[in-house]
Structure 1
Amino acid sequence: MKSCITISLVEESRGGPFVLWDGLDKSIAFAAELGYDAVEIFAPGPESIDADDLGRMLDSAGLQLAALGTGAGWVKHRLQLADADAGKREQAKAFVRSIIDLAGGFGAAAIIGSMQGRSEGAVDKQTALAYLCEALEDGGDAAAKYGVPLIYEPLNRYETNQCCTVADGVQILESLSTDNVRLLCDLFHMNIEEEDIAAALITGGQWVGHIHFVDSNRRPVGCGHMQYGPIIDALRSIQYQGYLCAEAFPWPDPHEAARQTIRAFRYWTGRPE
């Protein structure tokens, strides 16, 4: 398993669960200094990142790009994939594809989380789910061109009513005609929704494509009451070899949150410094 840390460039999300906020250059350099393997970036849109500059920063630091989030599509641009308006849904899918294109150039995945939307008003649950599946089909096919999966994240009940558990996520993915979508299992959301986090990861099995490595209170690993032994054992049992990515509040500050996470990563995975 490999280490990863989140960098946010979205001012509208300041105060949210992203660890580093000092821009790409400083954040990537700091992540490299601490020994991380990769970064996950939350950007306002593809136009906010110069791919050549990002490539130079990553190469200089010896880091990989693990993933790009699409959440700014909702947080900043108010686009979501279950919108009652067909035109807005198309705009949302186009935004996702634009992130896929940017990430794909680095061999990285795009993540759909908050953009999945919810059933409400004129959009009933069955219709909202159909819209989501349509978008996952579209994004999975777009990502396949780069040889990477699209990553889909079940969220807790307070953020969506589309899909809240790993088992429900597996059911959605198995219903698709594309086999190029994988699940992001976020330990914070799972702590709310799953009866047994380790058992849920085993249920996810081959569909588990990315992990948000965070504690029960959304602080860095080791700052809440999450029990990580069974979680790491479950990941090993499904032969997970992807990223454990810190998507956590920058508590007590970004630099200490980053340090605490890499210490915890090394402890739980047995990775040397």
Structure 2
Amino acid sequence: MIKSCVTIALVPQIKSGPWIFWEDLEAGMAKASKLGFDAIELFTASADAIEVPRLKDLLDQYKLELAAVGTGAGKVIHGLTLTDPDSEVRKKAISFISDMIDFGAAFGAPAIIGSMQGNVLPGNDREETMSWLAEGLNQLGKHAESKGVTLIYEPLNRYETNLLNTIEAGSNFMDSLETKSVKLLADLFHMNIEEGNLEESILNWGKSIGHVHFADSNRRPMGFGHTSMKEIASALKTIGYAGYASAEAFPYPNPDAAAEQTIEEFRKWFK
């Protein structure tokens, strides 16, 4: 069964990003619980920004699960990526993500690698850069497996990365890794830019999908753009996807309305 999820960001430096609730963890959880969401996806400045016992208490209190934890603060705050030409920066990126894996694993939740994947920088060799990415993902995937969770890699659109932009490219690259504990994030916003046919991509490479970001073509909550969810929902059900549909979307027109719109659309397509 596909479960509903809403995003909560607690990092001031990314306040212009696509997250529904901001700053106040408990207030966001209370609203998510009241609306009937199954889980939250959490973005924090570091792995120790929230004490694990406190988060466990809040999740129990509001009857929510932790679906995943984001690692984007590693790039936004510290400038770390897995494909930086400086080996010391890459080591720090791996360490930051490892800590986030440990944090999420306390709740059985995976960490997501989005912006921390980086880019092939001007003047750098693409093959060498991709080897750095593979090295980092192999190390991190094995670490995630040792903690009993998977690691989630997110193919981003061409305006955010020049590494892997489609589900097909991501799936083929994951197949080439030594670790088999890295799954893909199918972000419907990025897919609307890069995929020729979202339904076919899900059906063809669904074996690699471990998480879904539920946002419309304009990155507003689902229903505020032109994404055709009927075919997408059908494809996710066909491949037997049983993870979360998480609203990584702009809080349009405001956080409360965005959350309400998201849960209505979720129930329309998955309940």
TM-score bracket, normalised by the shorter chain, equals over 0.9
Matched, 1:257 2:230: no
Q: Which runs of 5+ in 2 are unaligned?
A: none
Residue 177 of structure 1 corresponds to: 178
Q: Deviations over 1:152-184 (max 9, x none)?
A: 000000000000000000011100111101000
Structure 1 segments (4+ residues) deviating >3 Å: none
| Distance (Å, rounded) in 2 between the aligned partners of 1:56 and 1:92 | 30
Matched, 1:196 2:201: no
**1:128-207 paired onto structure 2 within 5 Å:** 128-207=129-208
Counterpart of 1:18, as a letter, is: W
Offset at 1:123? 2.6
Whether the 8 Å CA contact 1:220–1:248 is kept in 2: the answer is yes
Offset at 1:93? 0.3
Residue 88 of structure 2 corresponds to: 87
Residue 235 of structure 1 corresponds to: 236
| Distance (Å, rounded) in 1 between the aligned partners of 2:95 and 2:23 | 28
Counterpart of 1:197, as a letter, is: L
Offset at 1:237? 1.0
Residue 54 of structure 2 corresponds to: 53
SS at match of 1:46: coil
Number of residue pairs matched?
270
Offset at 1:121? 3.0
Matched, 1:26 2:48: no
Q: Deviations over 1:3-30 (max 9, x none)?
A: 0010001111112101100421111111
- Of all paired residues, the percent bearing the same amino acid is 47
SS at match of 1:83: coil
SS at match of 1:234: helix
Whether the 8 Å CA contact 1:213–1:247 is kept in 2: the answer is yes
Offset at 1:205? 1.6
SS at match of 2:22: coil
Matched, 1:108 2:143: no
Whether the 8 Å CA contact 2:12–2:23 is kept in 1: the answer is no
Counterpart of 2:59, as a letter, is: L
Between 1:213-222 and 1:198-207, the stretch displaced more is 198-207
Offset at 1:111? 0.3
**1:42-81 paired onto structure 2 within 5 Å:** 42-81=43-82
| Distance (Å, rounded) in 2 between the aligned partners of 1:145 and 1:58 | 24
SS at match of 1:47: coil
SS at match of 2:7: strand
User: TM-score, length-normalised on structure 1?
Assistant: 0.97
Q: Which runs of 5+ in 1 are unaligned?
A: none
Whether the 8 Å CA contact 2:210–2:243 is kept in 1: the answer is yes
Two-structure CA RMSD over aligned residues (Å): 0.8
| Distance (Å, rounded) in 2 between the aligned partners of 1:133 and 1:113 | 15
Q: 1:8 to 1:74 in 2, by over 3 A?
A: same
